[in-house]
Structure 1
Amino acid sequence: MAINRICLTQKQQQQQQQNNSINDLISELESHENRMAQQMKGIDGIDKLNRVKIKMACLEWYKKDCKAKGIGYYDSYKNLYFCSDNDVTKHKKVLTNYWRNLVEDAERKPQKEGAYMRETWLYAGTNYRRMVEPLDIAEYYRQEGKRDYQTNGRSKHYILLEQWQKEHTEKLAGAPNDKKKQNVAGSLTEDSCFWMNVEEALISCKQLKDESNIEKQSTRERLNMFEQYVMDQINNYAVSPDIFLEKSSFMNWWKDFQEIIETSHDSPLRGFMKNCRYRQYEKGQF
């Protein structure tokens, strides 16, 4: 009986060892499959991102084409001056669907530890936001009577992309370097809500001209704040020189603002505009 028990125990041990080996093999295979799945997911993600970049290249061409015609791509799209403006809507839709879904996925399951997005996607997402959000702003203010895009029109995925980008780059903040100055001619405006601020400033100018407006003081203060905001962007080489094109909404605002302000009004922006220093700005020599 004792011998039988010993044999049984040995068989049980052997069986247990076999089971452990099988379990280890299964775990190793599962781990390998997970790694392969992640690699395939990464490859698929890069492939999709590359396809999206083609749409971005189309918008880059559109931006350059508009500038060659003497008008910025924001104002061209807002006013639908050319047939190409309608084509842009298709590219914008594809890009927005991709980034909105990607941001939602990243918010639920961050791409890496300590950050919602890997740098490759964050960089691409920042370029997308700076290129495409102005088009959304153009659509918004194209509608009569629209106000306050920031509160009433801005998509959550833009807010998150901007937040993640700021969290990533705030430690790198500093004065504009020579490379940034040299490349300003082809750059995108860094604040993707810049044109919203321009539109609101245009509305404020109209309100200030309205003699029945009882909030002239607060309206004037908003315009002064906008004036300082623009100068800050210029000093940091953070706006595209396209804003200074003759037919741009910004230049329209400046003309309206000139009619409102006193001749004695003096400010850095007034000096910059009066002396046409934006020509040096485009060359990175301001």
Structure 2
Amino acid sequence: MELETIGFNQTKLLQHNIDINAMIRTMEAETRRLIQKNKASDAKKLNDIKRDMAQLEWYKKKSEMGYYDCFKNQGSKRDLNVEQFRGNLTMYWEDMVAQVQRKPQKEGATFRTRWLYAGTVYRRMVEPLDIAAFYREGGTDYINNGRSLHYKLLQQWYKEDGKPPSRDKLDSKKQKVSGILTEDSLFWAHVEEAILSCELLKSENCTLEQGQSSWDNLVKFEEYVMEQINNYAASPEIFLRESSFMKWWGLYEGYIDTCSNSHGSPLINFMKKRSYMKYG
């Protein structure tokens, strides 16, 4: 009887092990299937993202008044179609940034390095569109009130991985500046705030305190823009006749020509001499 019980238990244990092994094989097969499915899904997403980026590249080339201002003004059906590409790209990169945040620090750093270049191109291409929409809808202070966290992290990681440009690199950038995206994806937010400062200075309701603050902001903006120009980090399209930057310059030039605060800064000299005609 005891032998029969032992034999029964051994048979039961063997059957139990077989069941476990079968379950493990099933789980492994399911894991492989999911990995392949995810790879296929990721590949499709990547192809879709490449397509959407290509559409934005084409849109940029066709934007006669400049990429930023065409989208801000929404003057044609083509401008409206860009909303879809912008939305698709934003969802993709928000998810990618979230994946990095979920990974352990070392693994996340390795992961982000692989696609940081693509993320930087995305940021420089798409964030100006977000800025355009923000100010078109009457927003102010985009940097503090409107900027998405994923842009902040992409910029932070780029700075952590980046190196200051050498003289040779600056010479190379000078040769290629005509085709670049403006490197600082916040450039147009600074322009919009400078326009608001000019409009406030010219307003009859501007207080002495507001006037001083606006003037200080404009002086800082001049320094910022000149730094972008000297580093060949700004696209020549900022100097297109109908661009928001040239709108700012028109307001600012009119103000400094009639006020006692006029000063001969490098940017003012650059603009008054029309040196931007040779830029790029």
Asked whether the two chains share a fold, i.e. TM above 0.5, the reply is yes
What is the CA–CA distance in structure 1 between the aligned matches of 2:121 and 2:140, rounded to whole Å?
A: 25
| Per-residue Cα deviation, 1:180-225 (whole angstroms, up to 9, x for no partner) | 2222111111111111111000000011011321121111010000
Contact 1:244-1:250 within 8 A present in 2 as well: yes
Report deviation, 1:278: 1.6
Letter in 2 for 1:104: A
CA distance in 1 between counterparts of 2:165 and 2:32 reads 37
Residues in 2 aligned to 1:180 and 1:111: alpha-carbon distance in whole angstroms: 33
Q: Which residue of 1 aligns with 2:186?
A: 193
Please name the residue that 1:16 is paired with: none
In structure 2, list runs of 5 or more residues that go unmatched.
1-16
Deviations 1:47-83, CA, capped at 9 Å, x for gaps: 52232011001000000000xx3x0111111111121
- SS of 2:57's equivalent in the other structure is helix
When normalised by structure 1's length, the TM-score is 0.79
TM-score, normalized by length of structure 2? 0.81
Q: Note if contact 2:100-2:112 (Cα within 8 Å) is conserved in structure 1.
A: no
SS of 1:183 mapped into structure 2: helix
Q: Residue 276 of structure 1 aligns with which residue?
A: 274
1:93 pairs, out of 87, 95, 99, with: 87
> 1:37-186 maps to which residues of 2 (within 5 A)?
45-66=42-63, 69=64, 71-109=65-103, 113=107, 115=109, 117-144=111-138, 146-169=139-162, 171-175=163-167, 176-186=169-179
Q: Please provide the CA RMSD for this pair.
A: 2.8
Total equivalences in the alignment: 255
Counterpart residue identity of residue 197, structure 2: S
Distance 1:117 1:199 in 2: 35
Classify the secondary structure of the residue corresponding to 1:113.
helix
Give secondary structure in 1 for the equivalent of 2:47: helix
How many angstroms does 1:33 deviate by?
A: 9.8
* Structure 1 contact 110–116 (Cα < 8 Å) conserved: no
Task: Flag structure 1 segments of 5+ consecutive residues without an equivalent.
Answer: 1-18
Asked if 2 retains the 8 angstrom alpha-carbon contact of 1:126 and 1:161, the reply is yes
SS in 2 for 1:177: helix
Could you tell me the percent identity over the aligned residues? 53
Asked if 2 retains the 8 angstrom alpha-carbon contact of 1:110 and 1:117, the reply is no
